[in-house]
């Protein structure tokens, strides 16, 4: 017997308290004594006993049969291990007598081998029977567990808070849960007679085909995606979908969809973005107004004051004392510095170069200005960028401006670079430095909790024009900020 076979039946080894074991031992000893009567004649006590006379045996055929019955009894009551042990002991007893004592060697050997063969075959059948019974029991338990799992799945499927439906490769819905009724307005029986295209607007079908093709190519949809569904009453629902491919024998059979209604959440988010856009727009208008007033009013008055002081110092140079002339020169220098400061603040609030010459020129000017007051070497590389909407230009400029301010104030960098790239319908701006860097949180929104409102504001600005912001940083290796934005004006309908 193999090792795996022994492991299968190792629990069947009989214990000493098993009454069948002692019955078999007694019967085996008694039978063996009877089988070797001729050898026992020389023993004073046992020589007086004639086992064949007691049993009425003329030959030992019946004893071999009893050995066989004893082996069968042992295999049935003690298990396969016990039966095999008893079979081996019986084989030793019968074959020893056949070789050493029996006058009819061939007959005794044939009878012994026949009994042993029948015993071995019967034990094998018993083993197969027991194994089959155990496998049947395990199969029944597995079927019960499978049935319980099926019931649990059906209950989970039917009572899930998210809408779940399955449709075949052609888009025909084959199964749907109760939450689909709330999402679409159709009953479950109505849904199973419809196609998913009945719920999707024509302009959203390309996304449906894109998801379908990706899944059929073996590409997993790791992230949820948004889709707009048409409900039974004609209204629209915005859902967040997770779709996976259902395979059978390695072949695509259907698609399983898990949908969550985010119509209300999306409305709140759109409203929040609208108000945020209004706030930022009002902020930019106020910046523009302040810059204009500084440039047109305050700076002009300071410039007139500077000229007045200069004229006064020139006319009074002959008859004013030396100390007074020095005071006038100090006033002149102070007015010049004030004029330059106001001019710089006006440019920072709303640089006219952004409106006149565009984003690339404004970024180069910003890099030069940052270098002049911080001493940081800033390298600018730009592609030929097509004309961008004013909102996009302004957002990208503000992000670069905030990033350079962070480089100057917090990074401790000596070098920085700005790269403007244009790819298809997207413009990408990368700002990197060789500063000390910092530890990034898992989500960009966590910057606000750390007091890094500048980075959070940059991300919100990018989101308002349909773009996205990526931040990467390593301690001691600097920081990189990448902002991507579409070249066309972003609207909520395009989302």
The DSSP annotation for 184-215 comes to HS--HHHHTTSBGGGGB-GGGHHHHHHHHHHH
pLDDT of amino acid 47: 45
Quick check: helix, strand or coil at residue 415? strand
Same domain, 469 and 390: yes
Residue 352, in any domain of the structure: no
Q: Which of 124, 149, 174 is the last residue of a domain?
A: 149
308 in any annotated domain: no
- Asked if residue 138 belongs to a domain, the reply is yes
Query: Do residues 405 and 374 touch, judged by C-beta distance below 8 A?
Result: no
- Cα separation of 319 and 201, whole Å? 88
Q: How confident is the model at residue 95 (pLDDT cuts 50, 70, 90)?
A: confident
* Angle, helix 453-464 to helix 263-293, in steps of 10 degrees: 110
Q: Are residues 145 and 164 in the same domain?
A: no
- Asked if residue 8 and residue 141 are part of one domain, the reply reads yes
Q: Of 245, 261, 277, which one is at a domain's C-terminal end?
A: 261
Average pLDDT, the chain: 76
Res 56: pLDDT: 44
pLDDT in tens, 3-18: 444 444 444 445 556 6
Average pLDDT rounded to a whole number, residues 121-125 = 78
Same domain, 178 and 243: yes
Say if residue 171 is in the same domain as residue 253: yes
CA distances from 346 to 242, 262, 341, 351, 391 (A): 50, 44, 9, 7, 20
* Six token digits for residue 265: 């959440």
Query: Which of 204, 235, 261 is a domain's end point?
Result: 261
- Give yes or no for residue 191 having a pLDDT over 50: yes
Indicate whether 442 belongs to any domain: yes
Residues 429 and 478 in one domain: yes
pLDDT band of residue 273 (cuts 50, 70, 90) is: low
Q: Based on the domain organization, do 72 and 200 belong to the same domain?
A: no
Write the burial class of residue 135 (CB in 10 Å: 0-12 exposed, 13-18 middle, 19+ buried): exposed
* Residue 112 confidence (pLDDT) above 70: yes
Q: Phi first, then psi: what are they for 470, rounded to 5°?
A: -120, 135
CATH number assigned to the domain comprising residue 232? 3.30.450.20
Give the mean pLDDT of 64-77. 73
Per-residue confidence at 46, pLDDT binned at 50, 70, 90? Answer: very low
Q: Residue 128: its pLDDT value, please? A: 80
Reported as a single tens digit per residue, the pLDDT across 163-188 is 888 888 888 888 888 888 888 888 88
Same domain, 231 and 96: no
How do residues 306-342 score in pLDDT, each as one tens digit?
A: 777 777 666 666 666 767 767 777 777 777 777 677 7
Strand order in the sheet with 173-176: 173-176, 163-168, 251-261, 236-248, 225-230
- The tally of domains found in the chain comes to 3
Q: What is the CATH number of the domain that holds 415?
A: 3.30.565.10
The answer to whether residue 299 is domain-embedded is no
How confident is residue 429, by pLDDT bands cut at 50, 70 and 90? very high
Rounded CA-CA distance 262/495 in Å is 14
Shared domain check, 207 and 135: no
E-assigned strand segments in 231-367 = 236-248, 251-261
**pLDDT over 80 (residue 132):** yes
Q: pLDDT at position 225, please? A: 85
Do 43 and 96 belong to one domain?
yes
Answer whether residue 203 shows pLDDT above 80: yes
Q: Please check whether residue 110 lies inside any domain of the structure.
A: yes
Mean pLDDT across the stretch 237-265? 85
Residue 19: the pLDDT is 66
Residue 154 counted as domain residue: no
- In the sheet that holds 377-382, the strands lie side by side as 377-382, 415-423, 426-433, 478-486, 468-474
What local confidence, expressed as pLDDT, does residue 405 receive? 86
pLDDT at 35 over 60: no
Query: How far is 272 from 223, CA to CA, in rounded Å?
Result: 24
- Residue 287 included in any domain: no
Q: Are 411 and 478 in contact (CB under 8 A)?
A: yes
Tell me the residue range of the domain where 240 lies: 160-261
Same domain, 165 and 141: no
* Shared-domain flag, residues 380 and 465: yes
> CA gyration radius for the chain?
47
């Amino acid at each position: 017997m193999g090792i795996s076979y022994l492991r299968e039946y190792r629990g069947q080894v009989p214990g000493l308290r098993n009454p069948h074991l002692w019955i078999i031992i007694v019967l085996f000893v008694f039978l063996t004594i009877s089988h070797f009567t001729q050898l026992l004649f020389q023993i004073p006590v046992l020589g007086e006993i004639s086992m064949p006379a007691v049993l009425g045996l003329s030959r030992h055929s019946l004893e071999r049969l009893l050995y066989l019955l004893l082996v069968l009894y042992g295999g049935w009551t003690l298990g396969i291990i016990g039966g095999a042990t008893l079979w081996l002991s019986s084989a030793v007893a019968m074959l020893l007598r056949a070789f050493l004592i029996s006058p009819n060697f061939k007959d005794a050997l044939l009878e012994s081998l026949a009994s042993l063969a029948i015993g071995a075959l019967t034990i094998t059948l018993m083993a197969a029977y027991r194994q089959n019974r155990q496998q049947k029991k395990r199969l029944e338990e597995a079927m019960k567990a499978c049935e319980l799992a099926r019931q649990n799945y059906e209950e989970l499927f039917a009572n899930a808070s998210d809408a779940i439906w399955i449709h075949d490769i052609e888009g025909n819905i084959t199964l749907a849960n109760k939450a689909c009724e709330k999402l679409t307005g159709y009953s479950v029986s109505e849904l199973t007679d419809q196609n998913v295209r009945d719920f999707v607007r024509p302009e959203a079908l390309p996304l449906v085909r894109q998801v379908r093709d990706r899944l059929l190519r073996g590409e997993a949809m790791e992230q949820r995606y948004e889709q707009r569904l048409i409900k039974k009453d004609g209204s629209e629902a915005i859902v967040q979908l997770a779709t996976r491919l259902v395979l059978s024998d390695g072949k695509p059979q259907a698609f399983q969809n898990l949908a969550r209604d985010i119509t209300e959440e999306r409305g709140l988010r759109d409203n929040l973005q609208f108000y945020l856009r209004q706030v930022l727009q009002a902020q930019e208008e106020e910046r523009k107004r302040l810059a204009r007033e500084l440039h047109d009013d305050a700076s002009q008055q300071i410039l007139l004051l500077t000229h007045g002081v200069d004229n006064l110092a020139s006319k009074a140079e002959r008859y004013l004392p030396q100390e007074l002339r020095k005071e006038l020169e100090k006033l002149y220098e102070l007015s010049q510095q004030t004029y330059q400061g106001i001019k710089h603040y006006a440019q920072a609030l709303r640089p006219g170069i952004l409106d006149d010459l565009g984003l690339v020129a404004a970024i180069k000017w910003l890099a030069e200005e940052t270098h002049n007051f911080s001493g940081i070497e800033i390298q600018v590389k730009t592609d030929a960028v097509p004309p961008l909407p004013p909102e996009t230009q302004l957002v990208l400029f503000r992000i670069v401006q905030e990033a350079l301010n962070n480089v100057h104030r917090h990074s401790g960098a000596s070098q920085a670079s700005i790269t403007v790239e244009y790819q298809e319908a997207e413009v990408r701006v990368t700002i990197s430095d060789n500063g000390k860097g910092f530890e990034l949180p898992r989500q960009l929104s966590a910057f606000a909790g750390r007091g890094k409102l500048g980075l959070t504001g940059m991300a919100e600005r990018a989101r308002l024009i349909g773009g996205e912001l990526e931040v990467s940083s390593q301690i001691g290796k600097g920081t990189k900020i990448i902002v991507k934005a579409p070249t066309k004006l972003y609207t909520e309908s395009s989302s």
